[in-house]
Amino acid sequence: MEIKQQIRLAVDAIVFGYEKNTLYVLAVQQKYGVFKDFWVLPGGFIKDDEPLITAVKRELLEEAGISVNYLEQLNTYGDDVHRDSRGRVVSVAYFALVNPQNFVLKADTDAKDAKWFPIDKLPKLGYDHKEMVDLAHQRLKGKLTYQPIGFDLLDDEFLFSDLENLYCSILEQDIDRRNFRKKILSFGIVKETEKLVKMRASGRPGKLFKFDKDKYDSLLGENFQFEIKFA
Partner DNA sequence: GCAAAAGTGTTATCAGTACACCCATGG
Partner DNA sequence: CCATGGGTGTACTGATAACACTTTTGC
Please report, as ranges, the residues that interact with DNA according to CB under 7 A: 159-161, 176-179, 181-183, 196, 198, 200-207, 227, 229-231
Nearest distance, CB of residue 128 and a copy of itself, angstroms: 13
Nearest distance, CB of residue 56 and a copy of itself, angstroms: 10
Q: Which does 177 bind (CB under 5 to 8 A by kind): DNA, a copy of itself, none?
A: DNA
Closest alpha carbon to 181 in 155, 159, 214? 159
Sequential DSSP letters for the chain: --PPP--EEEEEEEEEEEETTEEEEEEEE--SSTTTT-EE-SEEEPPTT--HHHHHHHHHHHHH----SEEEEEEEE-S-TTSSTTS-EEEEEEEEE--GGGTSPPP-TT---EEEEEGGGPPPBSTTHHHHHHHHHHHHHHHHHHS--GGGGS-SEEEHHHHHHHHHHHHT----HHHHHHHHHHHT-EEEEEEEE--SSSS--EEEEEE-HHHHHHHHHTT--------
Q: Which of residues 33-72 bind a copy of itself (CB under 8 A)?
A: 45-46, 48-54
φ, ψ (nearest 5 deg) of residue 97: -120, 140
Q: Which does 181 bind (CB under 5 to 8 A by kind): DNA, a copy of itself, none?
A: DNA
**Residue 175 makes contact with a copy of itself by CB under 8 A:** no
Q: Which does 176 bind (CB under 5 to 8 A by kind): a copy of itself, DNA, none?
A: DNA
Q: Which of residues 62-121 bind a copy of itself (CB under 8 A)?
A: 73, 75-76, 78-81, 86-88, 90, 92
**Residue 192 makes contact with a copy of itself by CB under 8 A:** no
**Residue 138 makes contact with a copy of itself by CB under 8 A:** no
Nearest distance, CB of residue 186 and DNA, angstroms: 7
Q: Which does 67 bind (CB under 5 to 8 A by kind): DNA, a copy of itself, none?
A: none
Closest alpha carbon to 60 in 14, 1, 125, 7? 14
Q: Which does 220 bind (CB under 5 to 8 A by kind): DNA, a copy of itself, none?
A: none
Q: Which is nearer to DNA, 42 or 150 (CB)?
A: 150
Residues that bind a copy of itself (CB under 8 A): 1, 3, 5-9, 45-46, 48-54, 73, 75-76, 78-81, 86-88, 90, 92
